[in-house]
Amino acid sequence: MNSITEIENEKGYDNNLVNHTVDEQLEAHYWKEKSSNTTLYNNNNNNNNNNNNNDHTNDHTHIIEQSSTLDELVNDVKDSDVELNKDGLRRLTIKRDFRILPLVCLFYLFSFIDRVNIGNAKLAGLVEDINMTENEFNVALSIFFAGYIIFEIPANMVLNKIGPKIWISILLITWGSIMMAMAAVKNSTQIFVARFFLGVAEAGLVPAILFYMSIWYTKQEQARRIAIFFAVSTCAGAFGGVLAYGLMQLDGVQGLGGWQWIFIIEAIPTLVLAIISYTSLPDYPETTSFLTEKERKIFMNMMAIDHGPTSEADSNFSWPQFFAVFKDWKTYAFSMIALCDIVCIYSISMFLPTIIHGMGFTALSAQGMSSFPYLVACIFTILGGISADKRKERGFHVMIPMLVAILGYILLIALKDQGVPGLYFATILVTTGMYGAYASFASWFTNNIAGRTKRSVAVALITSIGNVGGCIAGQLYRTSDAPHYVHGHAASLGFMVIGVIFTLTLKFLFIHINKKRDNMTHEERYVIISKSTSIDLCDKHPDFRYIS
């Protein structure tokens, strides 16, 4: 009977390639495993009789097709217009980007506008027209997240059943309709109901798209694209403020208030996008029609390398992976970081015009001035994502923007009576820091959770727990604290500090686990592998390496 090492050498398995990029592994002529495959591990290294060996092997091994060499794959696709080299892979990447990124960015742009435009509607007369109190307005802000939190995990379970294209289209048309209906509310109860169901409808979008990006891009490709995706939310802040400024000029047209025009006009693009999503958004890579068969083969092999020893090919829902999410300590560590950052993201998103208004500007001017901090944040969010991918690092790319936001909050508290320029600069630091942190953070947890079902559910759970921060954010900035809102800034500062502590701790835990796995003997690896399939082990597979 061959030893584990002999079998791995025979099959072309090279554990040293685990941490290499796709290009590096291609150049080394290794395809570690195909999309539905894992490496053969022999569970028996003693000299028992052949019958016992066969029985034992049948019980405890999973035999998968061996790795292909680069030359074999080149022969398979030699007639293809996509050559298997860096230029060919780059063209395949551009093709994916052109088809996917514009759509998902537009989805999120209007999702974010529609969830936070209530802050613009407030300055456009919503509170006065329907006789809301300030406390009722804060409840309307927070109740959105009640629906959002409750529905995130069920939403991604539905996603697994019916596919991204249909599910995202349903979400778009549902929340677009609710947003338009909000123009007809007459009292606080009606807006509570509308905001709750708006949260239910929007709940599925972000976890769906984060999961979607993880099946269409390798780990080394994700950070910059997720950064672009989240940078769109900063554009939403800038664009939403300018748009609201323009729509407020329609106050009184057709007998409608400015806040009603905000809800009506901003709902229309969402409804149009629902149709575009259904007709144009690719579904899963293995079923989509926009890739040729040869392109699909290249892509699926590329993703098999990227996911290493874990299997991503099975699109069926896995209950073992589902329950593994709730037993995994990483889920809750990531959730805590998400909570801390999201508190600050939503507090600034909903209250930035109000904070600027408190500096002495008119309501109309505050709407326009709220745009510039988002534009700065957009630029630095994208640059952070590019850097995170280039350096193959995540933790510091989360922590450093958080430290920038901390500096901003300190300035907002310290300079409350010492001039508008410093205060306005502080809002730029806060906005840039918290958005930049979350963009790198989102790629961090999608990179480090393996298994299609596990990642899908974990993304939903992390964002669900994180969005409890939205409920908290709605209560931080109260009218009684105007005009400086020191209590709100201090609370947000505290959340950022906690986020930094968790981020740094998690980074060094990942480094420690990776070193421990690097030093495992073949026998130690084998003991773990023989107890379960790679599909169920997911990121607990001894050959999986975390990106720290």
Q: Which two tokens stand for residue 282?
A: 């690719």
Residues 6+ apart with CB under 8 A from 449: 328, 330, 331, 455, 458, 459, 538, 539
| DSSP per-residue letters across 139-167 | HHHHHHHHHHHHHHHHHHHHHHHH-HHHH
> Is residue 542 assigned to a domain?
no
Indicate whether 96 belongs to any domain: no
The total of structural domains in the chain comes to 2
Q: How far is CA 396 from CA 223, 344, 465, in A?
A: 13, 19, 22
Q: Is residue 302 part of a domain?
A: no
Rounded-to-integer distance, Cα 324 and Cα 331, Å: 10
Structural domain boundaries enclosing 358: 102-287+307-515
Q: What pLDDT is stored for residue 60 in this prediction?
A: 34
Please check whether residues 266 and 358 belong to one and the same domain: yes
Residue written as token pair 């988002």: 374
Are residue 66 and residue 139 in the same domain, yes or no? no
DSSP string, 473-502: HTTTS-GGGTTT-HHHHHHHHHHHHHHHHH
Tell me which DSSP letter residue 43 carries: -
Q: Are 395 and 501 in contact (CB under 8 A)?
A: no
The values of phi and psi at residue 53, to 5°, are -60, -45
State how far the Cα of 119 lies from the Cα of 136, in Å rounded to an integer. Answer: 13
Give yes or no: residues 148 and 274 share one domain.
yes
Residues 107 and 240 in one domain: yes
Whether 345 is in a domain gets the answer: yes
| Residue 71 maps to a domain | yes
User: Among 147-151, 316-320, 484-488, 492-496, which stretch is predicted with the lowest mean pLDDT?
Assistant: 316-320
Say how far apart CA 226 and CA 541 lie, in whole Å: 26
Q: What is the pLDDT of residue 533?
A: 60
Q: Which of 237-241, 478-482, 543-547 has the lowest mean pLDDT?
A: 237-241
The reply to whether 67 and 198 lie within a common domain is: no
Same domain, 61 and 111: no
Residues 156 and 68 in one domain: no
pLDDT in tens, 375-409: 899 899 999 999 998 888 999 999 999 999 999 99
Rounded to whole angstroms, how far apart are CA atoms 19 and 125?
56
Kindly tell me if the per-residue pLDDT of 466 is higher than 60. yes
3-state secondary structure of 40: coil
Residue 216 lies in a domain: yes
In this structure, are residues 398 and 337 in contact, taking their beta carbons and an 8 Å threshold? yes
13-17, 125-129, 524-528: range with lowest mean pLDDT: 13-17
300 by Cβ neighbours in 10 Å (0-12 / 13-18 / 19+) ranks as middle
DSSP track, 88-136: HHHHHHHHHHHHHHHHHHHHHHHHHHHHHHHHHHHHTTHHHHTT--HHH
pLDDT digits (tens, 9 = 90+) for 245-276: 788 888 878 888 888 999 999 999 999 999 99
What is the CATH classification number for the domain harbouring 415? 1.20.1250.20
Do residue 165 and residue 27 come from a single domain? no
If asked whether residues 271 and 357 sit together in one domain, one would say yes
19 shares a domain with 140 = no
Reduced to 3 states, what is the DSSP secondary structure of residue 360? Answer: coil
Report the share of the chain in percent with pLDDT over 90: 36
Decide which of 77, 111, 129 is a domain's last residue: 77
Which of these ranges, 59-68, 97-106, 430-439, has the smallest mean pLDDT? 59-68
In a domain, 538, yes or no: no
Peptide bond into 483 cis (omega under 30): yes
Statement to judge: residues 192 and 130 lie in one domain:
yes
Contacts of 164 (CB under 8 A, 6+ apart): 208, 212, 281, 283, 284
Packed helices 205-216 and 86-123: angle between N→C axes, nearest 10 degrees: 170
Task: Report whether pLDDT(27) > 90.
Answer: no
Which pLDDT tens digit goes with each residue over 78-124?
Answer: 444 444 566 777 788 889 999 999 999 999 989 988 888 888 888 88
Asked whether residue 537 is domain-assigned, the answer is: no
Which of these, 432, 370, 462, 443, lies nearest to 231 by C-alpha position? 432
56 and 123 part of one domain: no
Largest CA distance in the chain: 90
Beta carbons within 8 Å of 391's beta carbon, 6+ residues apart: 397
Q: What percent of the chain has pLDDT over 70?
A: 82
- Token readout for 21 is 């990029």
Rounded Cα distance between 260 and 250, Å, is 9
Residue pair 161/316 in contact (Cβ under 8 Å)? The answer is no
Q: Residue for token digits 């709100």?
A: 488
| Average pLDDT value over all residues in the chain | 80
